[in-house]
Amino acid sequence: MTALLEASSPHVMNTYGRLPIALSHGQGCRVWDINGKSYLDALAGIAVNTLGHNHPKLVPALQDQIAKIIHSCNYYHVPNQERLAAKLVELSGMTNVFFCSTGLEANEAALKLARKFGHDKGIERPEIVVYDKAFHGRSIATLSATGNPKVQAGFGPLVEGFIRVPLNDMEALKNATANNPNVVAVFFETIQGEGGIHPMRVEYLQQVRQLCDERDWLLMIDEVQCGMGRTGKWFAHQWAGIVPDVMPLAKGLGSGVPVGAVVAGPRAANIFQPGNHGTTFGGNPLAMRAGVETIRIIEEDGLLAHAALVGEHLRAVLTHTLAAELANGGVKEVRGQGLMIGVELAKPCNVLTQRSADAGLLISVTADSVIRLVPALIMTLAQADEVAAILCPLIKALLAESA
């Protein structure tokens, strides 16, 4: 009998509560660990592996690029930067793009854009509206914009210049900014990811767009997790028929290759000038090829409509299977859009990450009590049924433990 290989990282800084699993390889929506155990992947690297694993159209394109050139600094033009930027402009209805490597960097750039927007108008201490339960990153500035005291603890003093408001409350937004000439932007996720899969309502999104227009503020929408087709449209805010002034992207943009971007509309397109911002790795040829090919494959394979269909099916199956738990309050809600789904329980459920993995399903738990499902956009209806068939009994068993 072959001895099991241990998954451990004793020389890696202990910054994650890791499961004792090390993945070896994947195919589509399935992955295998170093001991050969198979898992259905409903996490996709936290909404990153847009096309799943070992995609037959993506892999040859990346292999081709690696054999040509991986990195070129931004002293020179990178042709695929322009190709990818032009495509993102076309899909978003916006103007131009800055490329970086991560969602944190994209959000940090958005905050710098907002501050310079204010300074250019003569505002010495610009202020940005942010939201309860938001998550924008772990740098000092993005941590300050984040609405989670637990992840902020121990890293003060935080950066000033943020006004925090609750979700979907227009009166609260107006009251918090009343008679304040220093406000320059409103910044939020269309659907909060780390905060527990909390969506902004369509009418609220439209009202905030109108308010920003009236007051000459930047509307900055963080689409890092909910963008790139995850909800069934390219960007989740498009369900409201609005266009932001600034839109950070990352995660699914490169199907696993690190790509971040800040897309700007006319109001923000010319704020940055040479010397105002930059990056070493951002926009490198490999990352840009990954972005170009990801979008091409999503379009060719009709994955927007597919994500909407499979996501609606998965939510319906979960809701039906958990009907009794929804009725008695053990499950508070099944919510989300497309393939970004949250199942909120009435009790902490972090133990389900390990229990699900033991049962052959990869998920995450966020905000302590919300099961997050963000699989690859290629997940099939049958695989969605398999997710529910594995997960729902585990939820019922956990709720029964304290009944």
pLDDT in tens, 359-371: 999 999 999 999 9
On the question of pLDDT at 3 being above 90, the answer is: no
Tens of pLDDT, residue by residue over 228-252, are 999 999 999 999 999 999 999 999 9
Q: Mean per-residue pLDDT for 80-92? A: 98
Please say if the pLDDT value at position 200 is more than 80.
yes
Task: State the pLDDT at residue 388.
Answer: 98
Model confidence pLDDT, tens digit, residues 313-349: 999 999 999 999 999 999 999 999 999 999 999 999 9
69-300 is classed in which CATH architecture?
3-Layer(aba) Sandwich (3.40)
**How far apart are alpha carbons 161 and 88 in whole angstroms?**
30
116 pLDDT exceeds 60?
yes
Which residue stretches of 99-184 are H helix?
103-120, 140-145, 149-152, 170-177
pLDDT of the residue at 284:
98
Q: What is the pLDDT of residues 249-269, one digit of tens each?
A: 999 999 999 999 999 999 999
Can you read off the two tokens belonging to residue 341? Answer: 């789904």
> Are 353 and 326 spatial neighbours (Cβ–Cβ below 8 Å)?
no
Predicted TM-score of the model (pTM): 0.97
* Under 8 Å between Cβ of 202 and 156: no
- The per-residue pLDDT for 215 is 98
Model confidence band, residue 141 (pLDDT cutoffs 50, 70, 90) = very high
Q: Which residues contact 189 (CB under 8 A, 6 or more apart)?
A: 131, 134, 135, 136, 195, 200, 221, 222, 223, 224, 225, 226
**228 torsion bin: left (phi>0), alpha (psi -120 to 50), beta (else):** left
20: pLDDT strictly greater than 60: yes
Confidence class of residue 1 from pLDDT cuts 50, 70 and 90? Answer: low
pLDDT value at 153 more than 60 = yes
pLDDT of residue 66: 98
When pLDDT is averaged across residues 293-297 and rounded to a whole number, the result is 98
Q: Can you tell me the distance from the alpha carbon of 228 to that of 271, in angstroms, rounded to the nearest whole number?
A: 25
Query: How confident is the model at residue 50, as a pLDDT?
Result: 98
**Domain 23-54+302-401: top CATH class:** alpha beta
Tens of pLDDT, residue by residue over 22-71, are 999 999 999 999 999 999 999 999 999 999 999 999 999 999 999 999 99
**190 has a pLDDT exceeding 60:** yes
Ordered by start, the domain boundaries in the chain are 23-54+302-401, 69-300
pLDDT for the residue numbered 75: 97
pLDDT the model gives residue 402: 67
At 308 the pLDDT is 98
